Structure formats: structure tokens, C-alpha cells
Structure 1
């Protein structure tokens, strides 16, 4: 196994990782960024992004990620293909294994591995993803103004997103598989009192309909077994997200859902010199712009940590020189 020493290691790309790289490289931290299994993150499978600042006419998700990657590279970030498959934060410097064959030690580590939306697992759902199928009402609801849509889910997030869609759409069908919701009483009351939300109880999705874009959804009542078609142009899935933090579960503190716990008002984890940003630690907002914001925070936190470490141990900056042994 080859070994290497770096000053600042960024694990993961997307808005958080690339923004962290931009700030870290401008601060002279000589960051090395591994893009992960999906370079650019979830936005690379998003067609239109209309709510990221600086793009008045909107931008394709892959283009936005390409722009951020190029900006990070322009300031000197070393961007590499590869997946970090294991970490060891029990000592210092911190260790990471890339693709099970390359060991890196780093003075500071920024985690930006993101989170993945949970899907129903329907082939039609995947085929029409980005063409009427979405896992983010706040991101994509704008495109369905005045139209009829359906949303799957029964928790607080589903109720909140259904309420958001109700402000934009003519009709919102809320598909709930059981005869009750998991959402809080407050959120349940909200969706039940909005006149353009219709809750379909005991209902599961059989297929999302459409060739090039969503034209409807076939649903089944699990009690009666009867199937029917809802004529909708948008289909939203709100059954939760899973943070991509499996490799960190024995190294940093995670909450009950697997999100990395950071100190309030910072990106610091419970391990000195390890920082987390983006959707890997944000289970509330999950927006590209908020991910980018925490990426900036992580780089600034890492810069301060390394400056303090250098003042304590002047020799630590020698690790900034990348050395492949």
C-alpha cells in the first residue's frame, strides 16, 4: 500500500466540498480533494437549478458542479478521482484509505460526502428522475406552478414539502401508505386544513407514468386492492435521506439518523482537526447554497485549527508537502 502526507484532505465533492476547496486553496492549505463515487454529488443528476445565486437564468446541475470544480482547481486544489473507503481518526495526523490501496495522513480533514435521497425503487421513478420526478420540493416546486402534483411520504418532511407545494400548485395529492401519518400533530393539521391538498390514505405507488416527462402516476389502495391513475405532471418523493457517513460511524459522533454531529455555529466534529459540511451534517435545509456555505465554514475552521497547531508545533507544516512514498 502506498502512503502519502498532505496538509488538508477533503473527502467528497459537490457544493460543500468544492467550496471548501476554493477557500482552503486560497488560504494556502494545499488541499487534496477526492471526488467520491459520484463526482459533483446529487446535482449532477439534476437538470435545472434555478435557486443558486449568481445564475439569473438558471443553470444545469452538471454545469454548476463543473464551474465549481474548475474554480477550485484554478486556485490550486488537487482534485482526484477516488473513493475514501476507510478512515482512522484515533491518532494524529488523521488517516484515510483511498480505494483500499492508498493511505493518506492529513493534518486536517474536511468531510463533505453528502446524503442520498431515499427512493421507492421503481424503474419508472428512476427513468423520469429530473423529468418530473424529484426528491426536493423546495428545489423543484417552482417548475410546477399551477399544475397538479403528487407527493409520497407521511413524516414531517413530507408534510412540510406538501405544504410548500400547496402554495405553488393547483392540486397536491399526498400519498400515505398507512391509515395514519408519522408527522407531528401540528404538521398533520397543517396539511389537513389546506384546501388544495388531498390525502390518499392506504395508498402506494405502482408506477410513474410518462415517456419523456411525468404525465401521471398509477396508485393502488392497499386495503381494497383497487388501482387508479392520478393525472399529475410532478411526482415528489419525501421518504427521507440517508447521509453518506457509513465509513465514519466508528470515528466521529453521529446522530441517530447517521448525520455527523457538529458543534453549534461551526463545522467542528468531536475529533480535533476533523470538520464536516454539507448534507453529511445537515438534515434540515439540504440545499446547494447552504451546503456551499458550510463548505466555506469548514475551510475557515480548518485554517484556524492548522494555524493554532502550527503555533504549538512548528514542525507540523512539513506535512503540507505531498510526499508519495
Structure 2
């Protein structure tokens, strides 16, 4: 039997951003619930090693996620293990409908659903993620100092990450399926001028190989001749796009051409009381620490919004004589 419950704040998504928001919301004494369909921690749980989160010189993604979760639990944050079916904005309250049938009525909502890198869909990609396969050069490039790496893609992200890796790795192969990059001209010029970067034109990856130490090679195919070959490499970085998980974003919410939600500096959308954080929000960079910071910002802003909303409700509900007296 379905149930309707009332909250000050509903957080959708239990990654670093959502858990950070939960911590700050509980400290602000908001009646808060976090809804997460999977394990807490989000994509960071799949990272074998994290070395760029402040305060931890070296920690696994799973361990960092656990620390986030334990911190939120220490404040008594309520969590619901369910999938959200819809977020319905309203004038008095917003409604969050769960797949299980329950409805959460709330003054404010923080969407922290993140997104995911587009995948190649080739053998070895999922199996060796975190063991030489990566979707973030800034996150994992350090582990490939003076090694050989392969970057897949031809857009701005692939070009930027190849240039970043060229400062760390011994050799960078940029694999692109066409005979011209899609990246901006200035980026193309920089890539072509970098002696450590070699572009493999008209080439697609077919599979990723590994041994007990991690990734050791990649299969390649020429798109013109069909010829296949194998190349030794220590790492494979994939940059063929990112899919923001925006299915729950209410209709009418402002998004950019790539599907990222546009917010103000408080992480609030143009719909009052609805906030978007983490990888779903339009921003310059996507890092764990930035998602956590978004969670803090949105929770503090939500607390101010809820306080203002409740004050207005109290004023409207006050007895007529009391209003005149004051």
C-alpha cells in the first residue's frame, strides 16, 4: 500500500555529492531523506585508487565511499533504497514519486543522479576498469607516469586529455576512427605539435587485453583496409562522450545542448527549491571534490530556502487579528 510522507529536503542520488548534501542538511536540522537505488558512493566505488581527494594521500574508491556513507549515517540521515519514478514540481510542495509507489512531499529537492561515460562496448572495457582502463586522465594519469597509454576519441575532451597525459606519460597514442579530429582547431594544433602524441587515423579499438598486472595491450582495426593488429600499452583512456543522467529532471528545466542542467551559483535551477549538483550540473570540471562541494552548497541553499518558505507559511497562517496587531 502506497504512503505519502513529508520532508524538508529529498536528495536523489547517493554519490559523493548526495552524501555531502545529506551531511550538511542534517547539520542544518532539515528533515531529510536520501533516495538511492544502488550502493552508496556512486561511480567512485568502482575506482581502484583515489589519490586526489584532500586529506587522503591514497585510498580506494570503495573505502572513500564508505567513509562518506558512515559520516552521513552518524548524523542519522534517513535513506530509502528505491528507484525514483518522477520529480513533480509544485507551488506549495514538490513531489518525488518512487517506483515502489510511495510519494515524498518536500519543500526542496537535490538531484544528484550524476551520469556515466559513454562506453565503447568492446571486450575488456568493463572487466579492466580501474586496472588500466579509465575515463578520467586527471583522476588516473598519475599512475601512468613514464608509461605508454592509448587515448580513444577525437573531440575536445580526447584532445585535452591526450595533452594532459603527454605531460605525464612516456608516449600517448590518440586513436580516432576518422581521418580528421572533431576537436577545436587550437586543440588540434597543440595535439599535432606535441612530440609525445602520435595520432592513429581511421582506427578503432576492438578489445582490451590484460595480464596479472593490469592492462597490457589493445586490439586495433583499420577502418579502411579492415586490417587488425595488436599494440602494447599500459593504459587505455576512453573519451567518446558523457551521458548526464537527466531523465528525472523536470520538464522545462534549463539544460545546455549536451543535456547538463544549468544552475546558479547556489546549484539552484530556475524552479525554486529544485537544486542540481555533481556531474549532472553544467560545470568546468568533474571531480569527486567538486561534487562534494556542490552538495555542501546546495544543502546550505536548500536550508535557507526551506526556512524562508516556512516563515512565509507561518505568516500566511497567522490569525488575522495577530497580523493587524503586529
Deviation of 1:315 (Å): 8.1
**Deviation string, structure 1 residues 54-73 (Cα, Å, up to 9, x no partner):** 112x1110111110111011
**Deviation string, structure 1 residues 272-292 (Cα, Å, up to 9, x no partner):** 011111111045311000111
**32-41 or 171-180, which deviates more:** 32-41
**154-163 or 244-253, which deviates more:** 244-253
Q: Which runs of 5+ in 1 are unaligned?
A: 317-325
- Whether 1:155 and 2:151 are equivalent positions in the alignment is no
**Deviation string, structure 1 residues 253-300 (Cα, Å, up to 9, x no partner):** 22221111102x220101101111111104531100011111110011
Alignment correspondent of 1:275: 275
**201-210 or 241-250, which deviates more:** 241-250
Deviation of 1:217 (Å): 0.5
Alignment of 1:132-211 (within 5 A): 132-211=132-211
How many Å separate the matches in 2 of 1:246 and 1:315? 36
Cα distance change on mapping 1:181 and 1:38 into 2, 3 Å: farther
Deviation of 1:39 (Å): 3.0
Q: Which runs of 5+ in 2 are unaligned?
A: 317-326
**83-92 or 113-122, which deviates more:** 83-92
Q: Are the equivalent residues in 2 in contact too, given 1:16–1:277 (CA < 8 A)? A: yes
**Structure number with higher relative contact order (C-alpha < 8 Å, ≥ 6 residues apart):** 1
CA RMSD between the two structures? 1.5
3-state DSSP of counterpart to 1:246: coil
Alignment of 1:40-51 (within 5 A): 40-51=41-52
3-state DSSP of counterpart to 1:23: helix
**Deviation string, structure 1 residues 198-238 (Cα, Å, up to 9, x no partner):** 00010000110114410010101101111122210100001
How many Å separate the matches in 2 of 1:208 and 1:124? 5
Q: Are the equivalent residues in 2 in contact too, given 1:178–1:201 (CA < 8 A)? A: yes
Deviation of 1:76 (Å): 2.1
Cα distance change on mapping 1:296 and 1:310 into 2, 3 Å: same
Q: Are the equivalent residues in 2 in contact too, given 1:253–1:269 (CA < 8 A)? A: yes
TM-score (norm 1): 0.93
How many Å separate the matches in 1 of 2:85 and 2:126? 26
Q: Are the equivalent residues in 2 in contact too, given 1:2–1:102 (CA < 8 A)? A: yes
TM-score (norm 2): 0.93
Number of residue-to-residue matches in the alignment: 314
Alignment correspondent of 1:319: none
Deviation of 1:310 (Å): 1.9
Cα distance change on mapping 1:26 and 1:315 into 2, 3 Å: farther
Deviation of 1:20 (Å): 0.6
State which structure, 1 or 2, has the greater radius of gyration over its C-alpha atoms.
2
